[in-house]
Structure 1
């Protein structure tokens, strides 16, 4: 059992889903978000309300931590200054505080949007170079590169979870990109309990028949998703509008993120969700 885990973005849908399992994996769980605590705390859980863009509270909560599960961020495209504060600076603060306190590993909620502009008919792997679609995706590239640098120069392990769609299946895109909550918990558990990871990228996606990405390069983590979005296919296709092969929103891994203007968010409910960290 680990001494202490710090979970950021703990008030978001995904962070909330992780709290119970993380509390079982460490003597102490520190959950943090810019929002107040959501629901009752676990017996070994402490809640810290903080802005990750401010370094001092991040540094303080990291003391004595074995690992950090970093899900705190703006979870959609937004104006650059907001993304800069929460997603760039907040992520830097996490890794810098981890470096100062000798934290073993950072488990980072990255995103498909770090590689979102690749065509969907390209079966991309975990070693695929960055090709972001938005300021939001660009921040995920920054987080992955920061994690690699901190591993290579400071020995802090990193597992970067390129999450596809961790939300109810409401679109044809989500039939391939869906990540169920049980599979999310399993993914994060494997990212924590694998003895050594060095720097690793893995896609956060369920065992979907139409999965558009390849996780074989990270198979050593032992992530074996169980859920499959195909159970929703008949209903989704019955309500779907005709496909348009000239629309990048339908032909790129990014979905609608491929076509929105910089700084303008999308309605995540219509695309089957994004990672919804916060």
Structure 2
């Protein structure tokens, strides 16, 4: 790759991706709303930019081969709060990609696009959208945008429906965990696969209790290696019996399935301090 662009570079997941992405290209541009980030790679340039500014995104993506789009508010919030970064920002990325002839958008989608499906349903990549929050609705919007820009404008996309990329600290994560190593592997395969068209893949490790089916995305070559089962006994003992009538326990979206619209889902999850980001 000559040039890769990463949005959300100052976020928790973006921070893990910067070094691996820089190693994949000649020129690496990272961006976020912070004034700066530390430990720039020799070929990395950081640009402060607002996703809601179309002109800024067009300039940022000039000459890029692909954009890895992780920038957004990573929690449920009022619709008006999410409108700029999560909805308009997604449109601006795909439109900027089209205007610049960028080949592919690799997008951090989320399980929350289908979060109201029940966990007893093992859903595949063709599951119908059932968002659990405005945050999940933004992921549905971006996935449909990706489909539209492939069908009508030829911009490829890989939409990675991340389940929970954080330390295994609750019963849900025994099935939904995506390790950081597997995240990097997934993003690398989303970039290096020769042809993707419009593709959806679940971002989840090789967990015994993974509640989703990735077989429809095998063309991406994503083969996760980590398994959260090694944490199961300890986590289940600590959590005790779960309420089978609580949507947080019965639906794919976890706590996001149970919160009122506009209220934080992350605040209801038992996460370590360093993991309070995108889920």
- Look up the match of 2:172: 173
Alignment: residue pair count: 277
- Look up the match of 2:227: 228
Work out the CA distance in 1 between the residues paired with 2:58 and 2:267.
32
Name structure 1 gaps, 5 residues minimum.
none
Work out the CA distance in 2 between the residues paired with 1:9 and 1:259.
27
- Look up the match of 1:239: 238
- Are 1:80 and 2:108 matched, yes or no? no
Q: 1:26: how far off?
A: 1.1
Whether contact under 8 Å (2:124, 2:214) holds in the other structure is yes
Deviations 1:176-233 (A, max 9, x none): 0000000000000000000110000000000101100000000011101011111111
Deviations 1:61-109 (A, max 9, x none): 1100000000000000001111111100011100000010010000000
Using a 3 Å threshold, how does the CA distance of structure 1 residues 268 and 198 change in structure 2: closer, same or farther?
farther
Work out the CA distance in 1 between the residues paired with 2:242 and 2:62.
51
- Look up the match of 1:56: 55
- Look up the match of 1:151: 150
Whether contact under 8 Å (2:6, 2:31) holds in the other structure is yes
- Are 1:131 and 2:130 matched, yes or no? yes
Work out the CA distance in 2 between the residues paired with 1:12 and 1:55.
21
Using a 3 Å threshold, how does the CA distance of structure 1 residues 268 and 183 change in structure 2: closer, same or farther?
farther
- Look up the match of 2:6: 7
- Following TM superposition, where does structure 1 have runs of at least 4 consecutive aligned residues deviating by more than 6 angstroms? none
- Are 1:276 and 2:277 matched, yes or no? yes
- Look up the match of 2:139: 140
- Are 1:190 and 2:189 matched, yes or no? yes
Work out the CA distance in 1 between the residues paired with 2:270 and 2:155.
35
Whether contact under 8 Å (2:28, 2:45) holds in the other structure is yes
Using a 3 Å threshold, how does the CA distance of structure 1 residues 111 and 233 change in structure 2: closer, same or farther?
same
The answer to which structure, 1 or 2, has the higher relative contact order (CA under 8 A, 6+ apart) is: 1
Secondary structure of 1:56's match? helix
- Look up the match of 1:92: 91
